[in-house]
């Protein structure tokens, strides 16, 4: 069951006026989901951009993520309330645990139950996880129930297809959200992606995003350029053939871009 929008706007690494312009442009172009996080240091700017956009709050799906330093029971809810103040909202639509952070001392049971408390208190409509492997996802399910985990936001790209984890999430009815779908832009230069793009009179970014969407993932690409934001949206209308999808499936090379020591689990 898909409980989150399939297409959203990411804000990782965007700060100050840059993130405000990106969110404003995105909302003007028709994006209805915005993804941020406490550690991005841009929640206040995202909130300001939403506030001045003229788009009703009810039309925007807003996600933030709890940073590891705020994962303890004593800090999680207060930190989320602080995020809500920065974002200028009464509640967010989705709150994720950003990293399982096995070396940071807060037990999984503690931060998952604290996250569930945040939902009970009406601070967030849905809860989920990010960067969890299969074993940690199982542990999270044991604490809050699979029906209460809206998504696992994970790195997914043609170079990192994460098939075992994706298959497990599908079995559990948990939505996979793909971040780093373009592998920091590396896939945009891939000759296979380029040939598929030519066949469809599309861009490599559109092909890559369409690939993820056709596999059932939610995507949250970011851009500082309005024309790229508009172009990315068009990937929703692009239908790749079975042959296209098979060619992209062959690009798997375990090309992980993000795996911070102390925060990341042992990957599947």
Which residues are designated catalytic?
A: 40
Residues 230 and 237 sit within 8 Å (Cβ to Cβ):
no
Q: How far apart are CA 202 and CA 124, in angstroms?
A: 37
Burial classification of residue 90, based on how many CB atoms lie within 10 Å of its CB (0-12 exposed, 13-18 middle, 19 or more buried): exposed
Q: How far apart are CA 3 and CA 71, in angstroms?
A: 24
Q: How far apart are CA 222 and CA 220, in angstroms?
A: 7
Q: How far apart are CA 28 and CA 202, in angstroms?
A: 22
**N- to C-terminal Cα distance for the chain?**
24
Q: Looking at beta carbons, which pairs linking 189-194 to residues 24 or more positions away fall under 8 Å?
A: 190/158, 190/251, 192/247, 192/248, 192/250, 192/251, 193/158, 193/248, 193/251
Residues 43 and 73 sit within 8 Å (Cβ to Cβ):
no
For 54, list phi and psi in degrees, rounded to 5.
85, -5
Residues in contact with 13: Cβ distance below 8 Å, sequence separation at least 6, in sequence order: 40, 222
Q: How far apart are CA 166 and CA 175, in angstroms?
A: 9
């Amino acid at each position: 069951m898909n409980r989150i929008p399939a297409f959203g706007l990411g804000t990782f690494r965007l700060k100050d006026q840059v993130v405000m312009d990106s969110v404003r442009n995105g909302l003007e172009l028709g994006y209805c989901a915005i993804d941020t996080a406490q550690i991005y240091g841009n929640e206040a700017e995202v909130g300001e951009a939403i506030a001045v956009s003229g788009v009703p709050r009810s039309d925007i799906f807003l996600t933030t993520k709890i940073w590891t330093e705020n994962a303890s029971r004593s800090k999680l809810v207060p930190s989320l309330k602080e995020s809500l103040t920065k974002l200028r909202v009464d509640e967010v639509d989705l709150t994720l645990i950003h990293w399982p952070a096995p070396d940071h001392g807060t037990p999984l049971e503690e931060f998952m139950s604290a996250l569930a408390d945040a939902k009970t208190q009406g601070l967030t409509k849905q809860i989920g996880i990010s960067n969890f492997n299969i074993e940690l996802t199982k542990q999270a399910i044991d604490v809050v129930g699979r029906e209460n985990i809206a998504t696992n936001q994970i790195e997914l790209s043609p170079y990192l297809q994460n098939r075992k984890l994706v298959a497990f999430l599908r079995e559990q009815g948990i939505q996979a959200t793909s971040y780093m779908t373009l592998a920091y832009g590396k896939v945009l230069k891939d000759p296979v992606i380029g040939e598929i793009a030519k066949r469809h009179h599309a861009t490599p970014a559109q092909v890559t995003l369409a690939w993820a969407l056709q596999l059932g993932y939610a995507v949250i690409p970011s851009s500082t350029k309005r024309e790229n934001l508009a172009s990315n949206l068009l990937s929703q209308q692009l239908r790749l053939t079975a042959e296209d999808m098979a060619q992209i499936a062959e690009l798997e090379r375990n090309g992980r871009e993000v795996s911070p020591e102390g925060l990341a689990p042992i990957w599947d």
